[in-house]
Chain A
Amino acid sequence: GAESQKPPPGKWWTPPFDPRFPNQNQTRNCYQNFLDYHRCQKTMKRRGKSAQPCEYYFRVYHSLCPISWVQRWNDQIKEGTFAGKI
């Protein structure tokens, strides 16, 4: 879906500790926030509300996920071959 290229301005440091993913393997942390961002966008758009609250998920996945992964997933979303449920 549509994704801002530059993160929005404002006070942001880095993703805080997420107790759902307390261990060394942060793969799911990155992937889950990516999914949550797109799901949030889709839901907000469907309800006609502003997608501003979704920016948190964007910032988290933007900080955590390797750029190549994000690019690959975005391409898959465009082609309709993305495996996750959005």
Chain B
Amino acid sequence: TLMIVFLISSLVLYIISLMLTTELTHTSTMDAQEVETVWTILPAVILILIALPSLRILYMMDEITTPTLTLKTMGHQWYWSYEYTDYESLCFDSYMTPPLELDPGELRLLEVDNRVVLPTEMSIRMLISSEDVLHSWTVPSLGVKTDAIPGRLNQATLMTSRPGIYYGQCSEICGA
């Protein structure tokens, strides 16, 4: 990386020295309306073409959809517990599989003993809280990260478009 820094700075210094030590001067350029107009309008158009989809996505993030399932998760030191209580009460704890107990092919620090099972292509309401200290529940491949705060119930919406296994790691310092 230092090589790149030296490369770029020497290039810049060389160009500056070139600019300062030339015999050529062109003193009669007073206007260049055409090129100036083009290189003002064209970038503006390009920026608008970038901004419109970007705003659309931003507003899509806040869309209100009625979920089909609610899943609660409570953070503990150091495991998650899950509660499915829309119908009856299904609760279980989910501990990370210690590295020594992994089967070949399983991912270190990601596998758990009891996985959360969810239906695909359905909007799911996640309610995230904690039973002791701050935690944070995240599944990066599904675009979800929400803090787990004791005494507070945070809502996030989840939807998987394809079946698969999705992993996440607690994202808030929660050790003693």
Contacts and interface: CB of A to CB of B under 8 A. Distances in A.
Interface of A: 6-7, 12-17, 22, 24-27, 29-30, 62-68
B145 interface: no
Given A14-B68, A14-B70, A25-B153, 4 more contacts: A24-B146, A66-B127, A67-B91, A68-B131
Contacts of B64: 17, 22
Contacts of A62: 85
Contacts, number: 60
Nearest to B88: A6
Residue among B87, B91, B131, B152 with most chain A CB within 10 A:
B87
B86 A12 contact: yes
Nearest to B125: A14
Nearest to B124: A14
B86 A63 contact: yes
18 contacts: A13-B69, A14-B68, A14-B70, A14-B86, A15-B125, A25-B153, A27-B152, A27-B153, A62-B85, A63-B85, A64-B72, A64-B127, A64-B153, A66-B74, A66-B153, A67-B83, A67-B91, A68-B131
B65 to A, nearest CB: 8
A66 B155 CA distance: 13
Given A17-B64, A64-B153, A66-B74, A26 B127 contact: yes
Interface string B119-163: 000000101010100000000000000100001111110000000
Given A14-B69, A16-B66, A17-B66, A67 B154 contact: no
Contacts of B98: none
B154 A66 contact: no
A3 B83 CA distance: 19
A85 B167 CA distance: 42
A5 B129 CA distance: 23
Nearest to B154: A24
Contacts of B156: 24
A25 B151 CA distance: 11
Contacts of B25: none
A13 B87 CA distance: 8
Interface string B39-70: 00000000000000000000000001111111
Contacts of B125: 14-15
Given A13-B68, A13-B86, A68 B155 contact: no
Contacts of A13: 68-69, 86
